[in-house]
Structure 1
């Protein structure tokens, strides 16, 4: 059902919505789709048709991603075969299509560096299995809830950089010119300096593929559009015997039949392969989390980002044993799965089964596909992944977002994928801490004559012989605690000021916050004042008691939160006023209820 719950199995993950480039199209597909209730066999038949359609649609993408990784294109089909069949059985998001993605493939290609031939294929198999191991561990540790801390601007910058690299990576393929250079940027410059040497026939075939891939999806051939787009140029190459145009068989021999699982060569496990696997795992999980939270289950079953981590890990572990590419939750493939009418997880599993039949029946056709056609599909994928409107949104969000997005974009272009992902994670953490520390505000709560509570700007200085009630908004981690310290009203020059600090939203008290509260209590004591902490939950109270930094039986009083809203704060205000009266019976005017508010 379209209105299925978005809650997850893991309580910490509830409400942790992920936003990332490209999710809009998937959410539109889900919003415009309704899942009819069908009897068992009718539902399975719909799943079978959806699986077959998805498998056919994934043929050109899988092969193109094989080219992108720099291995035999058939490995992309092996990945779609094993990844969908294995991952579909375990995912909590039943319709999430686990298959090859351009971002994961390019990340794997960059991580494999200069390895070639059999050494590259062997290292890829080990890397993909390690990707699966990392993902399974992340899922078992419930890391799904951490995805929400990945900054949108960082994700946008990284994926935009990957999209540009994807386009640049395929320029030599579509032009038929083998560019020289140490990285994609220098190779592109080399290509531009030797434009006269490009293969015009290859370029023409690539342009034809692009035109067909853009136009055919808008015709009755929409489901087969990309497949026809690579078939037509390949037929032209075969009919006219265009020997100077590279085809798949020139890259490597296409094995016939279903591949047998093989054990990876342990000698291929190196530091670069291991760190590359970790980086690829992170890229896949960030992409997959967006898919996981955007597609409701037709039967209303709950979903878990962490369980989907495990499912993608199982898929990659299985794929690695079949020499496949890394796989993950795909935005576009999942949207197509929904559009094709998938009813359950069996559509994903059957897509893998159908891909196995394709691999077994048509290896000869696969070997004749023109490489410029596959390269053109990747150029189209890279171009489609660039989202100008979302880039503008990041740019307009202010200099922190610009800096984070721009730095990650440049890192993706010029550094290794491991370094780019590491920089992205670091920048996300810094942005979160920075924004959390500045997203702290104080208001003074004042009780009106009609009993309602008003919020006023917090004073900069405390009044003498009065109770001032301050409510705190925002995160009070160590940086936020320092912001709180700066914003608290100064007690200097006041006599016997009392502060009731309402901390109802505080879930844990860190060492920095305890130090800030202790220092503030000392400053109040110096002017014969007191500090009352209200709305404290039981766990925070226990933390304060164990730490022993606050004199909780003297100048600092703690009032635990109750089920009645503001009850703890009212009790704190009443006790604070009683203390003021006991200390100086003449202090404070009658009818003081409108001054130190109950809040």
Structure 2
């Protein structure tokens, strides 16, 4: 059901509630994530308004909330850190444009399936590392002692302790009070929707009344009333931003796929991730002209949208419009928000991202490659610019895929049991005289696994009168390498007077077996093509052996 459909009046009340809820949460989040990114908080508010509203109708997902997310914000900070402060806005808008172009390109070439090569272990290490950077990056605003920009990493903690005498007690009190209030309000159902905004308002009143020396948003940036005038990004900055923009696009899309796959549509189906890619890309391209930061689907914001009762895309449209209305009516009031209060909210968000012990423990206990990939990705987030850590993660994910799929590829023996079933057993090292041995390939069959498969085939050396039936996987994409492997083994088996049979052979491989010389090495009548009935070809091969055919 779309927002413009015949039932829009029925869904409007629920969408109003959801849109209002996410807007109330999105206002402090948008400002806070802009601070994490090292840009004027107004750009975070613009993004919360325009990207959310425009993305509502361009993505494939009904509930997907497009915004400046926490992980993107840390990555943007890494890109902008070496940029002179006066050039930061122009660089930000070009970055948004390029991220959008890359995202749109991914959608057009239907690259959604490629994101499955980023393992969950790598993603966990990356998100945990990014969350820690969020916390470390806000220690200065929380305590009043500003760390150097290049010191925002795990070594910032001992550096902060060495300068404990420079911590401002008033700033620390305001920040910790904000965290405490947010945690308390989250436990009250009626206050849950304002559990981030209300503590910030209380902290602003407290700072105005009792702690005028606490730093405010207005001390670092001017927040003007009204929406931004369109601005053409400076194309001259494009060459130096291509590589980091590609990394940001990958980060945003990997996160968005996680949102799409865990948030079903109203009818229970899963939205088209490629349309999500294209929609986010077009959104970023358009909003780059409206002074917005790069945006992508946010898991936490989308989950809140669904939990708040959203029924159609209109909920995100309403959310964006409400944030825009707040900017127009009360934009300058944002300058009165204490920086320690925003820092407290961001530290709370970062802590929630880090606190996933079940996920981390599961990866650590049950996946050796995943364990080290998670750890390596986490370390890379602390020692490399975050936008390059995703490249490390992608390479590690591909490495895990290749290693595990190669290890899993092997040959097993199928032993007949009652009822026409088969029991898997490890394949023996050698064939037995005058015995039928049924073998099956277990695991993925592609060029990198062929050697492992060939090594696990029983040796025919010295065997007499043995018969081997090798069952091939129905879907196989190994090409000429597979034909050479099968041909070599067939010649070894038949050289000693034994018989080699292929069963469940994909009919598409028959011509390749002929051209590759495999059919000649096997001999006539020893290839049994697969039929639509699974196992029928294997049983036909067994009957042929028993009949002496």
Length-normalised TM-score, structure 2: 0.93
CA distance change for structure 1 residues 357 and 538 in 2, over 3 Å: closer, same or farther? farther
SS at structure 1 position matched to 2:504: strand
State how 1:84-233 maps to structure 2 within 5 Å.
84-180=52-148, 182-185=150-153, 186-219=155-188, 220-233=190-203
CA RMSD of aligned residues (A): 2.2
Name the residue aligned to 1:549. 516
Structure 1 distance, partners of 2:277, 2:420, is 51
Deviation at 1:308, TM superposition (A): 1.3
Q: Is the 8 A contact 2:483 2:512 kept in 1?
A: no
Name the residue aligned to 1:571. 540
SS at structure 2 position matched to 1:507: coil
Deviation at 1:449, TM superposition (A): 6.8
SS at structure 1 position matched to 2:138: helix
CA distance change for structure 1 residues 451 and 354 in 2, over 3 Å: closer, same or farther? closer
Deviations 1:279-326 (A, max 9, x none): 111111111111101112224565112221122222222232222122
Structure 1 distance, partners of 2:147, 2:109, is 44
CA distance change for structure 1 residues 453 and 404 in 2, over 3 Å: closer, same or farther? closer
Name the residue aligned to 2:11. 43
Match of 1:239 among 192, 209, 223: 209
Deviation at 1:527, TM superposition (A): 1.8
Name the residue aligned to 2:351. 383
SS at structure 2 position matched to 1:204: helix
Structure 1 distance, partners of 2:295, 2:348, is 20
Name the residue aligned to 1:585. none
Deviation at 1:440, TM superposition (A): 2.7
- Specify every segment of 5 or more residues in structure 1 that has no aligned partner in the other structure, as ranges: 2-36, 583-599
| 1:280 aligns to 2:248 (yes or no) | yes
Structure 2 distance, partners of 1:261, 1:495, is 83
Match of 1:472 among 441, 449, 458: 441
SS at structure 1 position matched to 2:470: strand
Name the residue aligned to 2:272. 304
Deviations 1:70-90 (A, max 9, x none): 110011111111111121102
Deviations 1:440-462 (A, max 9, x none): 34332333576544444322211
| Number of aligned residue pairs | 541
SS at structure 2 position matched to 1:443: strand
Q: Is the 8 A contact 2:484 2:518 kept in 1?
A: no
- Specify every segment of 5 or more residues in structure 2 that has no aligned partner in the other structure, as ranges: none
Structure 2 distance, partners of 1:136, 1:117, is 29
Structure 1 distance, partners of 2:19, 2:420, is 63
Deviations 1:40-60 (A, max 9, x none): 312123212321221121000
Q: Which has the higher helix share?
A: 2
SS at structure 1 position matched to 2:453: helix
State how 1:3-42 maps to structure 2 within 5 Å.
39-42=7-10
Structure 2 distance, partners of 1:449, 1:179, is 72
Deviations 1:392-431 (A, max 9, x none): 1121124322211111000011112233111100110010
Name the residue aligned to 1:409. 378
Structure 2 distance, partners of 1:459, 1:572, is 21
| 1:434 aligns to 2:403 (yes or no) | yes
Structure 2 distance, partners of 1:205, 1:82, is 31
Structure 1 distance, partners of 2:460, 2:546, is 17
Name the residue aligned to 2:331. 363
